[in-house]
Amino acid sequence: MTFLLPHRRWLITFATTLLLWSVVMQLNHYLAPHGAYLFVGGLLVTFAALRLSLRIGLTATLLIGLAIDAVEPVPLVSSHALPGTHLVLFGVMHVVLFHIRTRFPREETVIGVVVALLANLGFFLGLSFVFVEFGRHPVPGAAWLRLFADLGWSQLFIVIIAPWFFALQERALELGQVDLAEENRRTF
């Protein structure tokens, strides 16, 4: 148990993020017969990037990227798979958000929701491009129409679920005796 104490900040953040991702994957399972898909990658990265130090937040973000890569299909480029797509995109987005977080009140829930929406838009368009263009979709035009419909539903879902998710992460860290005010002051 003493081994986990120094690592509780990224473990708690990873566990709550994994919980949200599991819930979203279960929702996607039920939405699949209706041809809909929710993507919440921006929400999975936002809290760790805005509220935790770089090392702690990036550790949690990279772990969730690895977890997603472990079960998501990867596109083929010239008969070579692109493993680690989520890991790389999540890591890059985390670092970008971390470095611009001082420009706005990052503790505000509304700001967190807006950042999650913008990050999700970036992720969604980036991943869609990789999967449609590099995945050699037979009818790319038709795929983009469906993807934009999925993006709309995903953004609406983030607006609804993000305040609960941010509160869950704050409370879980509080129960784990992590001082977020002190964590916000850390740079690395």
pLDDT band at 147 (very low <50, low <70, confident <90, very high): confident
CA-closest candidate to residue 150, choices 170, 121, 187, 185: 121
- Report which DSSP code applies to 176: T
- What is the residue-wise DSSP string for 83-132? TTHHHHHHHHHHHHHHHHGGGS-TT-HHHHHHHHHHHHHHHHHHHHHIII
Q: What is the pLDDT of residue 2?
A: 46
Q: What are the tens digits of pLDDT across the range 153-167?
A: 999 999 999 999 999
The residues that bridge with 77 in the sheet, in sequence order, are: 80
Task: Give pairs for 180-183: CB < 8 Å, separation 24+.
Answer: 180/51, 183/9, 183/51, 183/52, 183/53, 183/56
Q: What is the pLDDT of residue 124?
A: 86
Residue at token pair 């505000």:
108
Stated length of the chain: 188
Averaged pLDDT of the chain: 86
Instruction: Please tell me which of 17-21, 49-53, 129-133 the model is most confident about, judged by mean pLDDT.
Output: 17-21
Q: Which pair of tokens denotes residue 174? A: 């509080």
Cα-based distances in Å from 62 to 18, 29, 30, 144, 149: 12, 24, 27, 28, 28
CA-closest candidate to residue 62, choices 39, 92, 42: 92
pLDDT band at 74 (very low <50, low <70, confident <90, very high): low
Q: What is the pLDDT of residue 82?
A: 65
pLDDT at 3 over 50: no
pLDDT at 67 over 90: yes
Instruction: Give phi and psi for 22, each to the nearest 5.
Output: -65, -40
Q: Give the residue extent of every domain in the chain.
A: 10-29+39-185
